[in-house]
A and B are shown apart, each in its own frame.
Chain A
Amino acid sequence: MATLLRGVLRPLRAFRSRPRPAADVPLRATSHGAGLLYPEHIPTSPLQKALLAAGSAGMALYDPYRHDMVAVLGETTGCRTLKVLRDQMRRDPEGAQILQERPRISLSTLDLGKLRSLPEGSLGREYLRFLDVNRVSPDTRAPTRFVDDEELAYVIQRYREVHDMLHTLLGMPTNILGEIVVKWFEAVQTGLPMCILSALFGPIQLSAQSLQALVSKLIPWAVQNARRAPCVLNLYYERRWEQPLKALRQELSITGPPMHIQGPA
């Protein structure tokens, strides 16, 4: 009899209201599309952004292979700079078109067969060669999560996808030295705090020899080219696959690298 009574009471208890969190605890009510500005968006408070920035900077220094940390650092520190970049893109006709059409560079949007069939020396062919030689793929870029504006989220996503293009334009491999050179170029071009921090602190891990080569030749070359070239985010790369790389470099006033850097081990 007692077990029967208990059985009756048990389901009633199961439906008792769950303890609700305090009013100031952020609820995840927004995670089902209600308050999200774009699919991968994670809304964060200023404290969380600050902690993320500090944590990701530390982790990126500690473990340079954590590319996602560099990405998070860029997202959390780039608010003001992204706005400046976005306005710059709006003023340029090609950039404005990019903002409107929002093209994406990923394996699903690239026609690899067509790119492979392009003549040697064209942007598309050289880009593909860069991907093959360095064994990277455009799909390894993490999606933007912590930017609280949908257009700015696209801008930073575009910046990340253009990063590979820069490797091709500058002729830099994807090892640490090559990445640092590209970061110096980007730091001068975009002014993103993440680029500046990477450019300044990245070389800490290098050997004395590489550091010497970096400081004496590569950095001055990268900075000079970055100053001369127009904003690289304004180029509609998807429409320029057939353009010969040399011609594009001339258009952007980018000279060849001052020394050959060994590819990634």
Chain B
Amino acid sequence: MAAPRSWALWSFCCRGWSRVLPGCRLPGLRSSRPRGPLGARPLSQEKRATETHFGFETVSEEEKGGKVYQVFESVARKYDVMNDMMSLGIHRVWKDLLLWKMRPFPGTQLLDVAGGTGDIAFRFLNYVQAQHQRKEKRQLRAQQNLSWEEIAKKYQNEEDSLGGSHVMVCDINKEMLKIGKQKARAQGYKAGLAWILGDAEELPFDDDKFDVYTIAFGIRNVTHIDRALQEAHRVLKPGGRFLCLEFSQVNNPLVSRLYDVYSFQVIPVLGEVIAGDWKSYQYLVESIRQFPSQEEFKEMIEDAGFQKVTYENLTSGIVAIHSGFKL
């Protein structure tokens, strides 16, 4: 292993390089690229390397972030309605299953990234509140003789109904956060909830802060998925859990054909009729096809440093929950 100073210099050079080449972090990469006659990398390869996919379109990486932002800005108001229409309400079951897999206990610190309209956050708050209430009931039944002070405190309702749990909702898009905050106000969620504007590739949090990190239907919109995974690894406490709910590859050929027809023929039409926006929903179904398969994504999560990575298919693989631990 090289001496620390030269290693630092080398990694500094590579960091500049990594802006040009996605996914390149270490010097070992050089040997894997095909080289021209003089040993220099041909220019066309460099150009291609800064391009990425936006649905089935090819765009530059700088463009992709902006385009995705515009998509979500325009769908924000009708986001929840469209989710219900497109998935016939099944997305609620998927999100419930994510919570049941998580099994948070009161006191959990959750970071929900790309959590814009708050679906996961609200479910989390409901879950821990129910857990906390159950615990309280058990405690009450166990200790029948309470002192006057304890009874008075219970009446004053000064206790935290969530038992110390907290969820931080982080999203890159202001419109989505706005809708989420409106929903929270309308449904009466106040305690244990915070809204932060932030980029999944560069989270505005310190290391080792959260017990659970979730990202539901958000990671396929991130330009550099590997960076998002690395940030997830960074902000989780040791022992923390990474959970990702995302559209994935269908494993059943019949379901796959029906799903394709439904995705490409019906969903953009629904988007046009309900939300007045064909192109955003065209992007949605295309971005689902561009996302890596369950196994590939599992490997990407392992690369970021997570261990005990597993995945569970829901609805024949239309959706998959990936889970990993930072140990």
Residues on A lying within 8 angstroms of B by beta carbon are 4, 6-16, 18-22, 24-29, 31-32, 42, 45, 47-48, 51-52, 55-56, 58-59, 66, 68-69, 72, 145
Q: Are A4 and B26 in touch, CB under 8 angstroms?
A: yes
CB nearest neighbor in A for B260: A25
Q: Mark B23-43, 1 if CB is under 8 A from A, else 0.
A: 111101100100000000000
Given the known A-B contacts A14-B226, A25-B260, are A19 and B25 also in contact in the complex, defined by CB atoms under 8 Å? no
Given the known A-B contacts A10-B303, A55-B270, A66-B276, are A26 and B264 also in contact in the complex, defined by CB atoms under 8 Å? yes
Q: Are B269 and A28 in touch, CB under 8 angstroms?
A: no
Given the known A-B contacts A8-B32, A28-B282, are A48 and B56 also in contact in the complex, defined by CB atoms under 8 Å? no
Most buried by B among A22, A25, A55, A145: A25
CB nearest neighbor in A for B33: A11
Is B274 in the interface zone, CB < 8 Å from A? yes
Which residues from B are CB-within-8-Å of A14?
A: 22-23, 226
Residues on B lying within 8 angstroms of A by beta carbon are 21-26, 28-29, 32, 53, 55-57, 226, 249, 256-257, 260, 263-266, 268-270, 272-274, 276, 278-279, 282, 286, 289-290, 292-293, 296, 299-300, 303
Q: Are A4 and B28 in touch, CB under 8 angstroms?
A: yes
Which residues from A are CB-within-8-Å of B266?
A: 51
Which residues from A are CB-within-8-Å of B292?
A: 18-19
Q: List 23 A-B contacts (CB under 8 A).
A: A4-B26, A4-B28, A6-B303, A7-B29, A8-B28, A10-B226, A10-B300, A11-B21, A11-B32, A12-B32, A13-B303, A15-B23, A19-B249, A19-B289, A19-B292, A21-B260, A22-B257, A25-B260, A48-B269, A51-B266, A55-B270, A59-B273, A68-B276
Known A7-B28, A8-B26, A55-B273; 18 more pairs at CB < 8 Å: A8-B28, A10-B226, A13-B296, A14-B23, A18-B290, A20-B289, A21-B260, A22-B260, A28-B55, A29-B56, A31-B57, A32-B57, A42-B278, A47-B265, A51-B266, A66-B276, A68-B276, A72-B273
CB nearest neighbor in A for B249: A19
Q: A218 to B290, alpha carbons, bound, how many Å?
A: 56
Which DSSP category, helix, strand, loop or mixed, fits chain B's interface?
helix
Q: Are A10 and B23 in touch, CB under 8 angstroms?
A: yes
Q: Are B273 and A25 in touch, CB under 8 angstroms?
A: no
Count A-B contacts at CB 8 Å: 91
What's the least CB distance linking B10 to chain A, in Å? 12
Given the known A-B contacts A8-B26, A19-B292, A28-B282, are A48 and B276 also in contact in the complex, defined by CB atoms under 8 Å? no
Which residues from A are CB-within-8-Å of B29?
A: 7-8, 11
What's the least CB distance linking A6 to chain B, in Å? 6
Q: Which of B25, B32, B268, B290 contacts A48 (CB 8 A)?
A: B268
Which residues from B are CB-within-8-Å of A25?
A: 260, 263-264, 289
Q: A92 to B116, alpha carbons, bound, how many Å?
A: 57
What's the least CB distance linking A188 to chain B, in Å? 28
